[in-house]
């Protein structure tokens, strides 16, 4: 028996199972339809406790974006989600925040910007594919143009001359938004350990985007998670105080995070 074949089969079987799981979840989403309901637009929010909006000057943009309307989403797993929220909150203050502060103190800002640009350029296949799936041909062309410019003139994406010199901005498309454009509703709200807030639809979208990301194909798996962790910590180092401000000003931090995430995703989809 060929040893290479025998070792490769379980790997391929594992990928096939994950793909089947994603397809099954998509079928369930289609069957359930749109689980979220929208309040009438421009309806005033009843109270700060209901909408979780912030008053801190550093996060005024949340008010500008979300105060006009609010989307209600099904949260049947709220008791479990609140437990997950407590776990994530503890991990944030005990692990993520100290690591983020240490990383920011040790790594100079110009280097962190280069790392951020590199990973943003590396994620081009995700944005490009979803632009095409949403029928946004012009944005797809823009993403391809940005990739060529930044990979060459920007030295493998470490710089962003496409934006800084040529004024070509990046899009922000993902599979969760694509599924929404296709008419699939949010499903239910979920709080995933380590990953944070999402919905059933966006969670499926994250799994799909994972297969489009070059990072997914880094071997061995230890190196893959090291690369992903570096990207996450580097990105977090630019927004160290956002979460603290949300927690400090919210009457119910869980509700505040849920509403902020849902309204933020709604705005992304509408754009």
Contact 36, 73 (CB under 8 A): yes
User: Does residue 130 carry a pLDDT above 80?
Assistant: yes
Report the chain's mean pLDDT, rounded to a whole number.
82
**Residue 164 predicted with pLDDT over 80:** yes
Q: Which of 48, 49, 47, 40 is nearest to 71 (CA)?
A: 40
Q: Which position has the higher pLDDT, 60 or 157?
A: 157
Indicate if the pLDDT at residue 161 is higher than 70: yes
Asked if pLDDT for residue 7 goes beyond 80, the answer is no
CB atoms within 10 A of CB 101: 12
Kindly indicate the confidence band of residue 24, based on its pLDDT and cuts at 50, 70 and 90.
Answer: low
pLDDT tens per residue, range 89-113: 999 999 999 999 999 999 999 999 9
Q: Kindly indicate the confidence band of residue 242, based on its pLDDT and cuts at 50, 70 and 90.
A: confident
* Residues sharing a CB contact under 8 Å with residue 178, sequence separation 6 or more, in sequence order: 130, 133, 134, 205
59-87 tens-digit pLDDT: 454 445 444 456 789 999 999 999 999 99
pLDDT of 72 reads: 82
| Pairwise pLDDT comparison (25 vs 141), residue with the higher score | 141
């Amino acid at each position: 028996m060929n040893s290479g074949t025998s070792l490769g089969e379980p790997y391929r079987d594992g990928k096939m199972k994950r793909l089947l799981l994603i397809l099954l979840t998509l079928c369930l989403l289609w069957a359930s339809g749109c689980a979220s309901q929208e309040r009438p637009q421009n309806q005033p929010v009843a109270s700060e406790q209901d909408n979780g909006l912030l008053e801190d000057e550093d996060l005024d943009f949340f008010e500008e974006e979300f105060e006009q309307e609010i989307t209600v989403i099904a949260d049947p797993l709220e008791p479990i989600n609140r437990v997950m929220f407590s776990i994530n909150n503890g991990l944030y203050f005990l692990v993520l925040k100290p690591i983020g502060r240490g990383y920011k103190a040790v790594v100079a800002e110009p280097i962190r910007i280069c790392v951020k640009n590199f990973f943003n350029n590396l994620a081009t296949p995700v944005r490009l594919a979803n632009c095409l799936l949403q029928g946004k041909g012009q944005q797809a062309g823009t993403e391809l143009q940005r990739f060529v410019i930044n990979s060459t003139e920007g030295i493998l994406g470490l710089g962003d001359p496409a934006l800084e010199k040529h004024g070509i901005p990046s899009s922000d498309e993902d599979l969760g938004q694509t599924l929404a454009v296709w008419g699939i509703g949010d499903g239910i709200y979920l709080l995933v350990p380590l990953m944070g807030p999402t919905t059933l639809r966006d969670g499926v979208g994250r799994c799909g985007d994972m297969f489009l990301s070059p990072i997914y194909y880094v071997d061995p798996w230890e190196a893959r998670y090291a690369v992903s962790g570096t990207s996450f910590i580097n990105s977090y180092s630019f927004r160290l105080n956002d979460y603290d401000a949300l927690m400090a000003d919210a009457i119910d931090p869980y509700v505040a995070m849920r509403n902020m995430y849902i309204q933020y995703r709604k705005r992304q989809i509408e754009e």
